[in-house]
Amino acid sequence: MDSVAGADEGLLQFLYLAPIGILQTTRDGTIEMCNPRSAQLLMPAVHDGRIDNLFDCLAPYVPQLRSLVEQFTATAGVVCDGMRFTVSAVDGPSVYSLHLTKIDDDRLMGIVDDVTLEEAREREELDRRLHKAARVDALTAMPNRVAVRELMDKVLATPAEASRGHCAVVLVGVERLQQLADSFGEPVRDEVLNLMAARLGAVLRSDRDSDRTGGLAARGGEDEFVVFLRHLSVPRDATVIAQRVHDALARPYTIGSAQLHCTLSAGVVQMSGREESSEAVLRDAAIALGEAKRAGGSRWVTFEAAMRDRAIERGNLELDLRRALVDDELFVVYQPVIDLRDPDSSGRPAGVEALVRWRHPQRGVVPPIEFIGIAEETGLIGPLGKFVLDTACRDFTAWSKEFGSRSPELLAVNLSRAQLSDASLVDAVSRAVADSGMPIERLQLEITESLAAQGDDVRATLHALKHLGLTLALDDFGTGYSSLSSLHLLPVDTVKIDRSFVTLVEASAHHRVLIEATIKVSRSLGMTTVAEGIESEAQAQIVRDLGCDKAQGYRYSRPLPAGELRDWLLRWCGEAS
């Protein structure tokens, strides 16, 4: 008995001194026993100072507690575990944790604890993790754009830091990532990005001055990486590292049995320490990157102030172009294509090539070279291309009705890179032809040689277009990536020999041989040939003698607006009759 009494006394002493609130209640919440810590914790929760019933005390904070107990049908078990609620007190709010266990049909045992400090620590840890997550790229585990901006701003805000050496930023742009995803799946694209991140880190780690230069590599966007270089000895070090980065990332990537290639460009900014912010530096790097891409890609370009002026001008031109599409400032001109096989050499118009022009209210007529690239970069090439195709098909149908058998046989319309990547292109072409009433076989779509050789996705689109019944022409042949030996792989019907070859045909035997070879290979494949840029009768005669089928150029006509082309056709009809 003495041992039992001693045990009870020890238990009561434990309950009395326990640092957490321990209490016992009936099934309806009536408190039968509670230790001092329970009373201390529950007292701020009640307004009348009475803590007779646990459910009543906590009703303002845990109103569902009574129903939780009533719905708990088991004889014993945990009703709630670690339920948190906030209680207002004189010295500020406190966060409590409640554990309630049913020990038999009539009794409940509860534990109440003040977890305010624990909650604060958890929030701090969560904030730390969120802060870190917001600065780490989820795919590659590299720092992201936010992290690199913070570091750059810190350097820019610390004169002593900025003055220790030269700083620079290298912005790397990866092209054709979406085509990788479309062709091989998103997991393959993601694997390539992870391999790129690993190579980028290896380049910086292997650099002899990496510790001193303080290089930080980050993922700057969906298809961009950023390298921030600090404490460079001389500005030239940035371009040396940029070249190393480019060379490392441009190597093929082996994924399974496939070897994948990515085209990379980079913009380099040599920081002067006078920059306003990291965002301004990254903006200049993006401008330089854009210059590298427009120069053909696979290169890096160092930013110069003049580039910013050009970027502003391009931005203004983009706004003007958007307005031009609405205000009908664009128009189509047509250059005749002449049939050289005509036995009487009358220069029969075998076709016309449609070309877009822009009549700017202040600048006059803007040449396509100044706005087609902007249209492609900004997504305006879709509506622009639709305008050209719809207009040309309507004009061509009108000439066919007016001139009958003497009207041009083919209408040629150029396609851009962005149009070939548009999934709706085939439907748009089909709809434009149907709406105009033009026979589909009289439409010829032209693509540059470099575009035709760009991969399975482009070739699939070309085959889908041919399936409509139209013809395809390979424009500017001799300036791109394909060759005579691979010509049979391209689904084209016509090869257009670039003007750079035709211009030299009178003085260069070498160019005559190249043109003749192109004509013979094309003919063996059932393709016709067109000589571009004919400016003299001597050039026309040479390409005719070499077997070329058609020609176009200023020798016959400059590109003409629709009304002037109609007059040209009328004159040709009069001269040929």
Q: What is the CATH number of the domain that holds 428?
A: 3.20.20.450
Q: Determine the average pLDDT of the residues in 301-321.
A: 91
Q: Of 266, 283, 303, which residue constitutes the final position of a domain?
A: 303
Beta carbons within 8 Å of 532's beta carbon, 6+ residues apart: 476, 496, 497, 498, 499, 502, 551, 552, 553
Q: What is the CATH number of the domain that holds 8?
A: 3.30.450.20
Q: Determine the average pLDDT of the residues in 536-550.
A: 94
Per-residue pLDDT reduced to its tens digit, 421-439: 788 899 999 999 999 999 9
Cβ burial, residue 550 (10 Å; 0-12/13-18/19+): buried
Q: Determine the average pLDDT of the residues in 271-293.
A: 87
Whether the Cβ atoms of residue 151 and residue 81 lie closer than 8 Å to each other: no
Q: Same structural domain for residues 288 and 391?
A: no
**Is 570's pLDDT higher than 50?**
yes
Per-residue pLDDT reduced to its tens digit, 116-168: 888 888 888 777 776 676 788 888 989 989 888 888 888 888 765 555 567 89
- Please check whether residue 127 lies inside any domain of the structure: no
Q: Same structural domain for residues 466 and 319?
A: yes
Per-residue pLDDT reduced to its tens digit, 219-240: 988 899 999 988 787 778 888 8
Beta carbons within 8 Å of 230's beta carbon, 6+ residues apart: 155, 161, 164, 165, 167, 213, 214, 215, 216
Residue/partner pairs of 302-309 with CB below 8 Å, 24 or more apart: 302/239, 302/267, 302/268, 302/269, 302/270, 303/267, 303/268, 303/269, 303/270, 308/284
Q: Same structural domain for residues 298 and 317?
A: no
Residue/partner pairs of 452-456 with CB below 8 Å, 24 or more apart: 452/480, 452/482, 452/490, 452/492, 453/480, 453/481, 453/482, 453/486, 453/490, 455/179, 455/183, 456/183
Per-residue pLDDT reduced to its tens digit, 524-534: 999 999 999 99
The pLDDT assigned to 208 comes to: 47
Whether the Cβ atoms of residue 142 and residue 210 lie closer than 8 Å to each other: no
| Distances, alpha carbon 116 to alpha carbons 39, 86, 110, 572, in Å | 17, 9, 19, 94
Q: What is the CATH number of the domain that holds 139?
A: 3.30.70.270
Q: Same structural domain for residues 262 and 353?
A: no
**Is 255's pLDDT higher than 90?**
no
**Is 455's pLDDT higher than 80?**
no
Q: Same structural domain for residues 278 and 347?
A: no
pTM of the model: 0.64
- Please check whether residue 60 lies inside any domain of the structure: yes
63-72, 250-259, 543-552: least confidently modelled range: 250-259
Q: Same structural domain for residues 557 and 503?
A: yes
Q: Same structural domain for residues 11 and 66?
A: yes
- Please check whether residue 294 lies inside any domain of the structure: yes
Q: Same structural domain for residues 94 and 200?
A: no
Q: Determine the average pLDDT of the residues in 443-471.
A: 83
- Please check whether residue 39 lies inside any domain of the structure: yes
Q: Of 241, 276, 303, which residue constitutes the final position of a domain?
A: 303
Per-residue pLDDT reduced to its tens digit, 14-63: 777 788 899 999 999 999 998 999 888 888 888 777 889 999 989 989 99
Q: Same structural domain for residues 325 and 293?
A: no
Q: Of 273, 303, 333, which residue constitutes the final position of a domain?
A: 303
- Please check whether residue 124 lies inside any domain of the structure: no
Per-position b or e across 496-506, b if 16+ CB within 10 A of its CB: bbbbebbbbbe
Whether the Cβ atoms of residue 445 and residue 472 lie closer than 8 Å to each other: yes
User: Could you tell me how many residues make up the chain?
Assistant: 577
Structure confidence at residue 211 as a pLDDT band (50, 70, 90): very low
Q: Determine the average pLDDT of the residues in 238-263.
A: 88
- Please check whether residue 129 lies inside any domain of the structure: no
For the chain, percent of residues with pLDDT exceeding 90: 47
Cβ burial, residue 369 (10 Å; 0-12/13-18/19+): exposed
- Please check whether residue 560 lies inside any domain of the structure: yes
The pLDDT assigned to 519 comes to: 94
Tokens of 257: 């049995």
- Please check whether residue 513 lies inside any domain of the structure: yes
Per-residue pLDDT reduced to its tens digit, 165-203: 678 999 999 987 887 887 788 899 999 999 999 999 888
Q: Would you tell me how many other CB atoms lie within 10 Å of the CB of residue 237?
A: 18
Q: Same structural domain for residues 449 and 492?
A: yes
Whether the Cβ atoms of residue 317 and residue 370 lie closer than 8 Å to each other: yes
Number of domains in the chain: 3
Residue 113 belongs to domain spanning:
2-118
Q: Would you tell me how many other CB atoms lie within 10 Å of the CB of residue 24?
A: 18
Per-residue pLDDT reduced to its tens digit, 468-495: 999 999 988 876 555 677 788 788 999 9
Structure confidence at residue 345 as a pLDDT band (50, 70, 90): low
**Is 209's pLDDT higher than 60?**
no
Q: Determine the average pLDDT of the residues in 459-467.
A: 89
Q: Same structural domain for residues 377 and 244?
A: no
Q: Same structural domain for residues 100 and 146?
A: no
